[in-house]
Amino acid sequence: MTDIRERHPGGQPVRLDHAAFTYGSADMLFDADFPSSTITAVMGPSGSGKSTLLNLVAGFETPRKGRVLIGDSDVTALAPAERPVSMIFQENNLFAHLDVAKNVGLGRSPALRLTSDDRRAVADALARTGLSDKEHRLPRELSGGERQRVALARALVRDRPVLLLDEPFGSLGPALRQDMLDLLAGVQAERRMTVLFVTHQPEDARRLAQKIVFLEAGIVTAAGSTEEFFAGDGPEGFRRYVGSQS
C-alpha cells in the first residue's frame, strides 16, 4: 500500500501579515501565523472578526492593506478557486438538488466530469465519513450532522493543504459534536493539512487544537499553545471570555 503521506499534499503554513479590512464602522487588522499541519482554534466574542479572518484566507474578501501568505506564496491577489484552500461553513454547504455523491464529486470537478480515479476518491471519502450507504440521498434527506459529513467528504476529495471551518458543528447537539470532532481529528492526523477552526466552545479547542488565536474587536489580542491558554495564568481576555461562555 502506498504511504498516505506520499499521496496527499500535507499542510502549508498560513500567515496574515498586517491584513487590514473594513466593514462599515468595523476596522480590523489581522497579524497571525498558522503553523503547517496543525489545528488552530480561532476564538473570540461574536463580531470580533473570526469569519472575516477566514474569508481573507479563503479569498472571499481581500485586505485593503497587508498580505495573505500560504506556504511560500503571496496569495493576496488570487481568487478563491486559485488558493490551496477548502472551507466549510456552519450550514448550507451543499447543493439542495444534488445527491450526496454529486455534492462530494463537485470537489473534484465543478462540471461533475469524473474520471474513474475521481469516483474512487469520492467512494473513499464517503466511506471515511461513514456515508457509503447514503450516496444517493438529497441533502434534505440527511440529518444536520450527516450534511456536515458530506461537506467534510468534499473537502477530502479536494485534498487542499489548508482547511478552514467556520463554526462547522455549531448547530449540532453535544454528542454528535464530539463525533464530528473525532472525525475531523482523525482525518487531520491522516492528511496533515493545516486547519483553522472557528469555535465558540472552549472544550472543542482544548480537545482538538494545538494552538489558539484569540480575537477581540478586530485584532489578535492573544496567540499561543492551547496548553498556555488553559493554564491558570492564560491570557486575561481569553479567561474572561471562557468565563462568560459557561
Q: Which stretch binds ligand ADP (CB under 6 A): 45-53, 103-111, 144-152, 226-234?
A: 45-53
Q: Pick between residue 30 and residue 229 the one whose CB is nearest to ligand ADP.
A: 30
Which residue, 50 or 177, has its beta carbon nearer to Mg ion?
50
Which residues in the 144-173 window bind Mg ion by CB under 5 A?
none
CA 135 from centroid of its chain's CA atoms: 23
Question: Would you state the cell numbers that stand for residue 120, as one nine-digit string?
Answer: 474512487
Quick one: cell of 126?
A: 464517503
**Residue keyed to cell 469569519:** 51
DSSP classification of residue 134: G
Pairing of strands 39-43, 211-216: parallel
Which span sits near ligand ADP by CB under 6 A: 43-51, 87-95, 106-114, 151-159?
43-51
Binder among 44, 63, 145, 168 for ligand ADP (CB under 6 A): 44
Q: Rule CB under 6 A: is residue 244 a binding residue for ligand ADP?
A: no
As to burial, measured by CB atoms within 10 angstroms (0-12 exposed, 13-18 middle, 19+ buried), residue 231 is exposed
Break the chain down into helix, strand, coil percent, rounded to 5. 40, 25, 35
Residues binding ligand ADP: what is the number (CB under 6 A)? 11
Phi, psi dihedrals of residue 28, rounded to the nearest 5°: -125, 150
As measured in angstroms, the least distance from the Cβ of 165 to ligand ADP is: 12
Cα–Cα distances (Å) from 230 to 167, 174, 178, in that order, read 20, 21, 20
Name the binder of 52 from ligand ADP, Mg ion, none, CB < 5-8 A by kind: ligand ADP
- Considering the rule CB under 6 A, would residue 48 count as an interface residue with ligand ADP? yes
For 226, the grid coordinates are 492551547
Answer for which of 4, 5, 47, 182 binds ligand ADP (CB under 6 A) is 47
The answer to the question of residue 52 lying near ligand ADP (CB under 6 A) is yes
Nearby residues of 64 by Cβ (< 8 Å), 6 or more positions away: 20, 21, 22
Regarding 48 and contact with Mg ion (CB under 5 A), the answer is no
Q: Which is nearer to Mg ion, 146 or 167 (CB)?
A: 167
The distance of closest approach from Cβ of residue 51 to Mg ion in the complex, given in angstroms and rounded to an integer, is 3
- Of 91, 77, 100, 84, which Cα lies nearest the Cα of 14? 84
Q: Quick check: 40 binds Mg ion (CB under 5 A)?
A: no
Interface residue with ligand ADP among 4, 18, 26, 120 (CB under 6 A) is: 26
Binding site for ligand ADP (CB under 6 A): 23-24, 26, 44, 46-52
